[in-house]
Chains A and B, each alone.
Chain A
Amino acid sequence: MKASYKQWLTSLPQPSGLLEAIQRKSRKALLDMEIKLIEDDSWRLTNRKQLENLLKLPLDNSKAKQEINTNKGLARLPSKGFRLDLNGKSNCFDQDKLPTGFSVLNSKEIKTFIENQSKNNINPEHWSIAINNASSNHIIGLRIKGNDIPALELVMQAKEKEFIPTRILIIIEDKSDLELLEVLVGANKSGQSHMIDIYLGKESKLQHGLICSGRSESNFLANVIVNQEAFSTYNFTSVQYGYELGRLETHINQKDGNAKTNLNGLQVSTGNEQLATYSKIHFNGPEGHFDQLQKSTASKKSHCIFHGSINVPKIAQQTNASQLSKNLLLSKRAKIDTKPELKIIADDVKCTHGATISQLQEDEIFYLRSRGISAKQATSLLIEGYCKEILESLPVEASRWGILTQILTSIQE
């Protein structure tokens, strides 16, 4: 592991541009953390061989401008929104092409934000974050102001046999609302490292969706970092399928409590895939509200992982948090690891958590079969029902992406 890791780091182009300092710092951190990394619990279950494959892929260095509203081989454009096609190669956008309510952040604003990242309860040296920080040459920064503004769709397409890092910063001003759908599209033997920093101002609201749709032997690491001011609302739905190795980490910080966070997640693994979701929420003030439902289905020899951590320090009195991990094992050789975790210091809180792992119920299948529905179709209907609860909470007309059909096909193949 160490050799390929070092080789990957040395293969990266010289640090430069706006992110030069953080690139240097992260590369050094990655080299230094080698031993710690192996002992780290968040790393323990990760398929290292697949991660090595990811880190063997060369970085795409060609220069090309980010494109707006492209539709090449993708789902149709959202009817009430616009699409940005991000390729990790440039941070240039024509401001005048962006709709009202969106503005591009200047270098100074971005720099200030990055330098403050460690103050927001985020460890920039955490290995998955550091991989993105070490390799990202560009960052897209957008400021959102207003209500009733068009929805935003960000598409990050992988390239065959290449590693593409993408990095985004979104600042939502006080009392502003946004609907955002991010779509990671894998390619054959590809690697993606995606990181989005979101800052939610007071009384702002974000409906955020992330679809991670993999292809043969594709891999991704993604980090969603959210800082919420008081009275803001963050609703996030993530869906992962089709990646050989998929790892999503969500870091939420309610800076002064008094905010609402809802997380819904679905991971559907099959074949030899390993899909993981790690979520952390920290309440840095009282009266925060948090609700999480994480679902997984694992078939064939695949592996699904969930580790959700809720941190309620003494300052976070009257926090109301609930977390549920529901898992469906569809074969004898599939694996599920789930760990809902509560760390509570405050004494006046209402927190619940739980996890279930089950198989499809024989009585449910028989009920459908007794109505003339074949065993295969019955299984498919039950999985569809299981997934829909999460899929229906995706924003920006996400059904355009045909996720359900792709999921059911992948399980049945």
Chain B
Amino acid sequence: MIRENSELLIEITDLHASVEDQPILNGVNLKIKAGEIHAIMGRNGSGKSTLSKVIAGHPAYKVTSGSISFQGINLLELEPEDRARQGIFLGFQYPIEIPGVSNLEFLRVATNSRRKQLSHEELDTFEFEDVVREKLKIVQMDEAFLNRSVNEGFSGGEKKRNEILQMALLEPMVSILDETDSGLDIDALQIVAAGVNKLAKAETATLLITHYQRLLNEITPDFVHVMAAGKILKTGNKDLALELETSGYEWVDQEIKNEAGNS
């Protein structure tokens, strides 16, 4: 929801980043305010996932110039865990399996680290079980998932629902969902999308990274950005996503050519 006077949560300015000395982001500019839902679309390799990992602080990605400000704090100075504690959440495209680590214990430790930051009391095992049971309803997950190892043996849909469960527990300020719709059947997509919609609040924001309009049918974005060659090439409203669905990305090549010609 776009509101004139809402708080600016994230401001990305002329962000350049590389991985193994290979430049991936080449000047990203983006502002996200409280209450807004943004969607980033683009071809494979355009830099969408890299942007999400850079915001979350993946150590393999090196920021070469530019800045990311989160509620006035220089996010780039923070370790990944401190970014998460401050309220940045990254929903992974491929959630990692961690054998031997109980999902319940993992969720409890993660939740308490965020609660500590918010000066809330940490939850003991019993208190946490009550909290997590409530949150499970949001993503229609069975309690049995809590006793399994983190994501181990989960189907693609179960993994994504587990991501949204984490989002529900951590109550982030900015949620970045990296291709949350990939590998989901229609039913699972609707469950995940309903969860995201339910968790979206006036004081928080969501950044969706996706290839497909079908997710945006379920979660209506306020802004749609098209990424190409490591920068945001075009910004529009939800109609831009529909336009992409019909026209594809060929126009992007022309835009890049024009831009190269002008520079």
Contact = CB atoms under 8 A, between A and B. Distances in A.
Contacts of B84: 369-372
A366 B58 contact: yes
A113 interface: no
A174 interface: no
Interface stretch (A211-219, A222-230, A332-340, A386-394): A386-394
A374 B109 CA distance: 10
B99 A370 contact: no
B154 interface: no
A369 B79 contact: yes
Nearest to B109: A373
Given A385-B98, A385-B149, A372 B56 contact: no
A368 interface: yes
B81 interface: yes
B110 A384 contact: no
A370 B100 contact: no
B109 A370 contact: no
Nearest to B88: A370
A377 B109 contact: yes
B101 interface: yes
Which secondary structure dominates where chain A touches chain B?
helix
Interface residues of B, number: 30
Interface in A362-402: 362-364, 366-375, 377-378, 381-382, 384-389
Nearest to B86: A372
B176 to A, nearest CB: 10
Nearest to A391: B100
B100 A372 contact: no
B59 A370 contact: no
A372 B170 contact: yes
B260 interface: no
A369 B58 CA distance: 9
Nearest to A361: B96
B81 A385 contact: no
Contact of A385 (B95, B99, B113): B99
Contact of B98 (A364, A369, A375, A387): A364
A370 B110 CA distance: 9
Given A362-B60, A381-B101, A384-B100, A375 B79 contact: yes
B33 interface: no
A67 B43 CA distance: 74
A1 B195 CA distance: 69
Interface string B65-101: 0000000000000011101110001101001101111
Interface residues of A, number: 24
Q: Which among A366, A377, A388 has the highest number of chain B CB atoms within 10 Å?
A: A366
Given A362-B60, A366-B58, A381-B106, A371 B113 contact: yes
B118 to A, nearest CB: 11
B50 interface: no
Contacts of A377: 109
A373 B59 contact: no
Interface string B169-181: 0100000000000
Contacts of A370: 56-57, 80-81, 83-84, 89-90, 92
Contact of B100 (A366, A367, A369, A385): A385
A362 B59 contact: yes
Interface string A341-369: 00000000000000000000111101111
Interface string B106-135: 100110011001000000000000000000
Interface of B: 56-60, 79-81, 83-85, 89-90, 92, 95-96, 98-101, 105-106, 109-110, 113-114, 117, 149, 166, 170
6 contacts: A370-B56, A370-B92, A372-B113, A373-B81, A386-B99, A387-B100
Given A368-B110, A384-B100, 20 more contacts: A361-B96, A362-B59, A364-B98, A367-B98, A369-B84, A370-B57, A370-B80, A370-B84, A370-B92, A371-B110, A371-B113, A372-B85, A372-B110, A372-B117, A373-B109, A373-B110, A373-B113, A381-B109, A384-B101, A385-B98
| Pairs A-B, 5 closest by C-beta atoms | A385-B100, A372-B113, A371-B110, A385-B101, A372-B84
